[in-house]
Amino acid sequence: MCGEHGNNCFVHVDSGLPPVGLKCVVNGEEIQACVDPTMTLLNFLRNELKLFGTKEGCGEGECGACTIIMNGETVNSCIILAVEADGAEILTVEGLAKDGELSILQQEFIKMDALQCGFCTPGMLMSARALLDRNPNPSEEEIKEALAGNFCRCTGYIPIIDAVKSAAKREREELK
């Protein structure tokens, strides 16, 4: 404990290094914390903020299970240091639902059976969310390109692509 941030002091004793201050907005909530300089953003979200939606797969930026949206762009949170998120605005899968209601994108994933084990789903949802934010009417090729960094090992790619397509259509119709 560095003693400066009350319950938000997340200094791990293992490195023994001086903590680094971190201020960011996570899913609309302002977070002030101090963290170990070697902590990854993924570990900060999961272990300290207890946001367990974001998953660790490969830990090397290959599989996309840890995908979050940082300052409007998708990133692999497993290969970013927590301190690098200082001043950033972060959206995780927990931030997609509003007032207890799942977003259109999440509803379409369920409707299209776009998940089996569900491990890749949070990352898929974040990549798809960022895609629809920059391109509300993506082609199948554009969807594939946007999701190329998200691996699904239950071979569910076709329903996932279908879910993104139908979510795009519904968003264009319903969120005008």
Binding site for another protein (CB under 8 A): 15-18, 20, 37-38, 40, 59-62, 64, 67, 73-76, 78-81, 83-84, 127, 144-146, 148-150
Question: 4 vs 62, which CB is nearer to another protein?
Answer: 62
Question: 83 vs 93, which CB is nearer to another protein?
Answer: 83
The distance of closest approach from Cβ of residue 5 to another protein in the complex, given in angstroms and rounded to an integer, is 17
Question: 3 vs 16, which CB is nearer to another protein?
Answer: 16
Q: How far apart are CA 148 and CA 112, in angstroms?
A: 19
Question: 84 vs 111, which CB is nearer to another protein?
Answer: 84
The distance of closest approach from Cβ of residue 73 to another protein in the complex, given in angstroms and rounded to an integer, is 5
H-state helical runs in 37-76:
41-43
Report residue 34: phi and psi, to 5°: -130, 140
Distance of CA 9 to CAs 23, 38, 62, Å?
12, 15, 30
The distance of closest approach from Cβ of residue 138 to another protein in the complex, given in angstroms and rounded to an integer, is 12
Report residue 170: phi and psi, to 5°: -65, -40
C-beta separation of 3 from 69 below 8 A = no
Helices (H) and strands (E) in the chain, counts: 5, 6
The distance of closest approach from Cβ of residue 15 to another protein in the complex, given in angstroms and rounded to an integer, is 5
